[in-house]
């Protein structure tokens, strides 16, 4: 039913962390004004999360304290401090999706997987996160699976995603 050929941000391809690679990534962005956010996105893309060791490297490169750098990483919902599931499903729970029954539907799905918001299945296959609006509000309820947008999400689509991720 859904788009299997879609270009997806596969988490399974995440590289093993090394200080050297982190330093390369940081150095590649140092010409930018205010490079912290682009660096964090690049680190997470490479390693699947933002390891503490990389935060230390960033603090040194940007000449700020580790505490300050830690503060930045932890402020934003998108950055993970530990390895995440190989696939990420973001389910919208903002008002528009709630008007179409998204809250109850998501709760039932989470209960089935025995997860809470932000949790990862024990096999490390799927992380389920809450998101507050994907701008697909004329097709509520909506979701984003590894970067692929999905409108008119129903229980069947959610089950299909879980099966595909864990299969």
Residues that bind other proteins (CB under 8 A): 3, 5-6, 32-38, 40-41, 62, 71-72, 75-79, 90, 94-100, 131-140, 142, 144, 147-152
Tokens standing for 157?
């689509």
Give the nearer residue to other proteins in terms of CB position, either 18 or 30.
30
Give the nearer residue to other proteins in terms of CB position, either 34 or 122.
34
CA atoms of 101 and 158, how far apart (whole Å):
14
Give the nearer residue to other proteins in terms of CB position, either 123 or 135.
135
CB of 123 to other proteins, least distance (A): 25
87-92: strand order across its sheet: 126-131, 87-92, 143-145, 148-150
Beta strands in 5-81 (DSSP E): none
CB of 80 to other proteins, least distance (A): 11
CB of 119 to other proteins, least distance (A): 16
CB of 137 to other proteins, least distance (A): 3
Give the nearer residue to other proteins in terms of CB position, either 73 or 162.
73
Burial class (CB in 10 A: 0-12, 13-18, 19+), 122: exposed
Q: What's the DSSP call for residue 13? A: G
Peptide bond into 148 cis (omega under 30): no
Q: DSSP string covering 101-157, please?
A: THHHHHHHHHHHHT--TT-B-TTS-EEEEEES--S-GGG-S-EEETTEEE-S--HHH
CB of 89 to other proteins, least distance (A): 13
Give the nearer residue to other proteins in terms of CB position, either 34 or 167.
34
């Amino acid at each position: 039913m859904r788009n299997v050929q879609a270009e997806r941000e596969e988490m399974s391809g995440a590289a093993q962390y090394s200080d050297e690679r982190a330093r390369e990534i940081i150095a590649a962005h140092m010409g930018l004004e205010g490079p912290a956010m682009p660096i964090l996105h690049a680190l997470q893309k490479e390693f699947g999360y933002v390891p503490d060791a990389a935060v230390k490297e960033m603090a040194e490169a940007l000449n700020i304290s580790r505490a300050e750098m830690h503060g930045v990483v932890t402020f934003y919902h998108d950055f993970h401090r530990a390895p995440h599931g190989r696939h990420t499903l973001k389910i919208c729970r903002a008002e528009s999706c709630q008007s179409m029954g998204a809250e109850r539907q998501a709760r039932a799905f989470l209960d089935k997987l025995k997860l809470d918001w932000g949790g990862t299945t024990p096999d490390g296959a799927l992380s389920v996160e809450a998101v507050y609006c994907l701008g697909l509000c004329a097709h509520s309820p909506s979701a984003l699976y590894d970067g692929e947008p999905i409108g008119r999400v129903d229980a069947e689509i959610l089950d299909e995603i879980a099966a595909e991720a864990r299969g």
